[in-house]
Amino acid sequence: MDITLFNTLGREKQIFKPITQGKAGVYTCGPTVYDYQHIGNFRTFMFEDFLKRVLMYNGYDVKHIMNITDVGHLVSDGDEGEDKMEKGSERTGKTVWEIAEYYTKVFMDDAKLLNILPPEKYTKATEYIKEQVDMIKCLEEKGFIYVTSDGVYFDTSKLSDYGKLARLDIEGLEEGSRIGFNEEKKNKTDFAVWKFSPKDGRRQMEWDSPWGKGFPGWHLECSAMSKATLGVTFDIHCGGIDHVPVHHTNEIAQSEACNGAESAHYWMHGAFLEEETGKMSKSKGEFLRVQTLIDKGYSPLDYRYMCLGTHYRKRLLFSWDVLDSAKTARVRLKNRIKALKENAANFTNITNDSNSVNKFKDKFLASINDDLNMPEALAVVWDTLKDESISPAAKLEMISEFDRVLGLDLEKAEAEIKQDVPAEVIALVNERIAAKKARDFKLADELRDKVKSLGFEIVDVKGGVKLKSIKN
Ligand code: AMP
Ligand code: ZN
């Protein structure tokens, strides 16, 4: 069955046609490791995980590369402002190298908790400086760059189809009042491929180059690293929707200018996770992390279930109520499967209606292959469970197959699942454990009483606590 994917380049769903039969090369823009990733970032990484799992389910051998941005991403996403890494270093008092290592590790740990499959390779921007310098040299030979006092810039007027991804209206673009805008830029849309270190100071991360000491522009890393790992033209490139007008537009420009060939065939973008106040972002200061969810008594997979429930191209508004509903549904689903397992042996006499089995398998495949329609795929799982003409054993077999795409660990025993314990109670129990650890016994007692008022008795046992319902 064909897979159709929404290609931002053509603004339409297109049948996926790989460059090499049976193989898919996928490049996804990874985290900037100056801080923790929030659950909004992970919505994008999960959509990319759904894509990868769908391709694998369809038998593709997927080569997935994800970059780690550990240099060059400026606060503005463009060419102005400080490097986020250097800013993170000031904030934490640690070196840029230390924070890169720390936040990369936390990112990988969180991704694992969300059942996001790791890429074949993580490429760090700082490990591909030579490839990035080579690409600037290539652009220089072809006459696409010019040097200003603060860096080397790509001349976007030299590329006839610049801005094709974002369908930028170049003529009509207004510069606005950007503070610190570089007057030496020839065109509003020109962007830096190399920025010079400040004349009066040193950066923690800087390298020599034919144009002067400095560091690569943020967009350049993805062009150079995708070329080094997947080749000049590859199948699919993904990222969050915010990457369309600047980052991916500029990536396409410099890749295609240097290589003289098309970059990726399919460009896919995930919509934002939003809050009441707009896009979830790190610049707002406080943000939700995977650990925040765990501390509040949720499983990271509750959030995965929540993301599966909304199509990746639709905005998703975060609220604790929505997460609560996802948690309830996920736990119900797991408990239904647990019951199926217990009953499987008792119902061997049910003859499966193979038409029903095939109907659900086909429906599931049709859903995921329709531009990753995961909400519909989830509905197929529930419908499969309800169908009386299929034996428990056959249902289990199908659901375990479906879970290769959903990644919800549906068959894995989860001792800590407490269907009847509200998230609020679990959060209080975690707080009490922390209070006891800090030897704040007064607070620990208060929290125990609070939990009691919500209908649960905390029983301290060796190595942890147990909860007893005292509702009745
Ligand atoms: P960053 O660490 O800022 O480079 O972002 C990592 C990824 O998260 C990028 O693909 C962004 O487009 C994406 N992203 C940023 N904010 C959000 C959000 N609120 N919802 C979904 N994806 C986001
Ligand atoms: Zn990128």
- Is any ligand 1 atom within 6 A of the Cβ of residue 280? yes
- Is any ligand 1 atom within 6 A of the Cβ of residue 41? yes
- Residues, the chain, total? 472
DSSP string, 37-76: PPHHHHHHHHHHHHHHHHHHHTT-EEEEEEEEB-S--BTT
- β-bridge pairing 273-275 and 278-279: antiparallel
Domain map (residue ranges) of the chain: 4-270, 284-406, 423-469
Counting runs of H as helices and runs of E as strands, what totals does the chain give? 14, 16
Q: What is the 270 CA–ligand 2 centroid distance (Å)? A: 14
List, for residues 341-351, the tens digit of each pLDDT value. Answer: 887 666 555 55
Residue nearest to atom 3 of ligand 1 (CA): 32
Residue 247 has pLDDT above 70, yes or no: yes
Q: What is the 103 CA–ligand 2 centroid distance (Å)? A: 18
- Is any ligand 1 atom within 6 A of the Cβ of residue 313? no
- Is any ligand 1 atom within 6 A of the Cβ of residue 64? no
pLDDT of residue 173: 58
pLDDT band at 389 (very low <50, low <70, confident <90, very high): confident
User: Could you give the CA distance from residue 253 to residue 238 in angstroms, rounded to a whole number?
Assistant: 16
- Please return the burial class of 310, using the count of CB atoms within 10 Å of its CB with bins 0-12, 13-18 and 19+: middle
Q: Is 176 left (phi over 0), alpha (psi -120 to 50) or beta?
A: left
Best CA proximity match to 34, nearest among 67, 74, 66, 65: 74
Residue nearest to atom 15 of ligand 1 (CA): 41
pLDDT of residue 88: 84
pLDDT of residue 414: 66
Which of ligand 1's atoms lies nearest the C-alpha of 73? Answer: 4
SS3 state at 6:
strand
User: Could you give the CA distance from residue 154 to residue 84 in angstroms, rounded to a whole number?
Assistant: 22
> pTM of the predicted model, to two decimals?
0.86
pLDDT of residue 417: 46
Q: How far is CA 236 from CA 16, 52, 273, 450, in A?
A: 9, 10, 22, 51
DSSP string, 215-255: EE-HHHHHHHHHHHHH-SSEEEEEEEGGGIIIIIHHHHHHH
Residue nearest to atom 12 of ligand 1 (CA): 240
User: Could you give the CA distance from residue 217 to residue 207 in angstroms, rounded to a whole number?
Assistant: 12
4-270 CATH choice from 3.50.50.60, 2.60.120.260, 3.40.50.620, 3.40.50.1000: 3.40.50.620
pLDDT above 70 as % of the chain: 92
Instruction: Tell me the CB-side half-sphere exposure of residue 439, using CA atoms within 13 A.
Output: 0
Rounded to the nearest integer, the mean pLDDT of the chain is 90
SS3 state at 162:
coil
Q: What is the 178 CA–ligand 1 centroid distance (Å)? A: 23
pLDDT of residue 461: 67
Q: Which of 44, 103, 246, 310 to mutate to test the pocket of ligand 1 (most atoms within 8 A of CB)?
A: 44
- Cβ neighbours around 137 below 10 Å, total: 15
- Please return the burial class of 245, using the count of CB atoms within 10 Å of its CB with bins 0-12, 13-18 and 19+: middle
Residue 457 has pLDDT above 90, yes or no: no
- Is any ligand 1 atom within 6 A of the Cβ of residue 239? yes
User: Could you give the CA distance from residue 296 to residue 306 in angstroms, rounded to a whole number?
Assistant: 16
List, for residues 188-234, the tens digit of each pLDDT value. Answer: 899 999 999 988 877 888 999 999 999 999 899 999 999 999 999 99
Best CA proximity match to 364, nearest among 202, 389, 356: 356
Q: Are 319 and 423 in contact (CB under 8 A)?
A: no
- Is any ligand 1 atom within 6 A of the Cβ of residue 353? no
- β-bridge pairing 191-196 and 278-279: unpaired
Question: Which residues make Cβ contacts (< 8 Å) with residue 86, sequence separation at least 6?
Answer: 96, 203, 204, 205
pLDDT above 90 as % of the chain: 68
Residue nearest to atom 7 of ligand 1 (CA): 41
Ligand nearest to the CA of 218: 2
- Cβ neighbours around 345 below 10 Å, total: 9
List, for residues 106-123, the tens digit of each pLDDT value. Answer: 999 999 999 999 999 999
Residue 415 has pLDDT above 60, yes or no: no
User: Could you give the CA distance from residue 83 to residue 106 in angstroms, rounded to a whole number?
Assistant: 21
Q: How far is CA 65 from CA 191, 227, 238, 281, 369, in A?
A: 25, 11, 11, 24, 22
- Is any ligand 1 atom within 6 A of the Cβ of residue 330? no
Q: What is the 240 CA–ligand 1 centroid distance (Å)? A: 5
- Cβ neighbours around 256 below 10 Å, total: 19
Instruction: Compute the average pLDDT of residues 455-472.
Output: 72
Q: What is the sign of the dihedral through the CA atoms of 138, 144, 146 and 152?
A: negative
Q: What is the 151 CA–ligand 2 centroid distance (Å)? A: 20
| Most confident listed range (11-25, 388-402, 428-442) | 11-25
User: E strand or H helix at 273, and its extent?
Assistant: strand 273-275
